[in-house]
Amino acid sequence: MARALAISAIVAVFLAAPFAAPSYYVGLLTKMLIYALFAMSLDLMIGYAGLASLGHAAFFGLGGYTMALLLMRAHASAWIAFPAGLVAATLGGAVFALLALRARGSYFLMITLALAQVVWGIAFGWRTLTGGDDGLPGIKRPVFLISFADQTPFYYLVATLVGLSALAMWAVTRSPYGLALRGIRDSETRMRAMGFNVWRHQFAAMAISAFFAGLAGCLFVYNNRFVSPDALHVVTSAEGLIMVIAGGAGTLFGPALGAGVIIFLEDFISSHTQRWLLVLGVIYVATTLFAPRGIVGLWTDFSTRKRKP
């Protein structure tokens, strides 16, 4: 009951935000929602499949770049470009899975990082197609039956897609497949002995995760009306990782909360200093040392202690 009330209150706040908050903060909330989706997609790999990745920005950027290139270079409609971005990100996740799932632990982490840097290098170096480090500016927001050019309609589009995506990911994690993923995360050997195809489950997890990361990337590009190689950079992957760890891996809500906190801190700290990345690094180290289960883990521990007589 308490959880349902909390979720209802959060939904009510987000629905009322455009009418109660200045335009700047509506834009900030939009960015929080997009990164919440990005963090939740990464949590499917880290918190449920047990696959720590430093290349998740590749799927984020593949979705955004594919959509932007079709819009700007091929002059395709949003009805074609937007789904194409999702397909490109999903295929990217499948390719990464084929190349990286042979490794485990730190080796998997480094392979995903290396593959993502290859994608970043292509976007950075292929100036005639991608615009290089200048990126692709002037991307118009979509028209899906109605125009989403203004901030408020676009905010509701983002909130709707993020909400539906969160429900879809929640359903995946609660399904028999999601339970099998958690079993693989805890003990691959035991799950193999029980007859589960570990590789196939992890492959599907990477593809599903990449799909939602690509959706976040497309929304990110529409929000900024611009895309550059920064969307593919290791810093973006690291930010996603910090969001997951800060909020609490394996919960979906935790990474979404972590994304909101990190985006708020980034906005607040960057308005006072250009060294906000250093501050985020300190937050990451402090979280790892003193709250390894993140904000959600801290709250759970506090609630458990409070209930004890």
Instruction: Please write the tens of the pLDDT for every residue from 27-36.
Output: 899 999 999 9
pLDDT recorded at residue 82: 94
Which range, of 122-136, 207-221, 261-275, averages the lowest pLDDT? 261-275
First to last CA, the chain: 22
pLDDT recorded at residue 57: 94
Token pair belonging to 47: 């918190």
Model confidence over 186-245: pLDDT tens digits?
888 899 888 889 999 999 999 999 999 999 999 999 999 999 999 999 989 988 988 898
pLDDT recorded at residue 70: 94
pLDDT recorded at residue 156: 93
Higher pLDDT: 249 or 158? It is 158
* Range 42-59 average pLDDT: 92
pLDDT recorded at residue 225: 92
Instruction: Find out whether 215 and 205 touch, Cβ atoms under 8 Å.
Output: no
* Range 148-158 average pLDDT: 90
Q: Judging by DSSP bridges, how do beta strands 226-227 and 136-137 pair with one another?
A: antiparallel
Q: What is the pTM of this model?
A: 0.91
Q: How confident is the model at residue 7 (pLDDT cuts 50, 70, 90)?
A: low
Alpha carbons within 13 angstroms on the beta-carbon side of residue 305 total 6
Q: Domain ranges in the chain? A: 28-232
* Range 252-266 average pLDDT: 87
Residues 6+ apart with CB under 8 A from 141: 147, 148, 149, 154, 222, 225
Higher pLDDT: 51 or 19? It is 51
* Percent of the residues in the chain that have a pLDDT greater than 90, as a whole number: 49
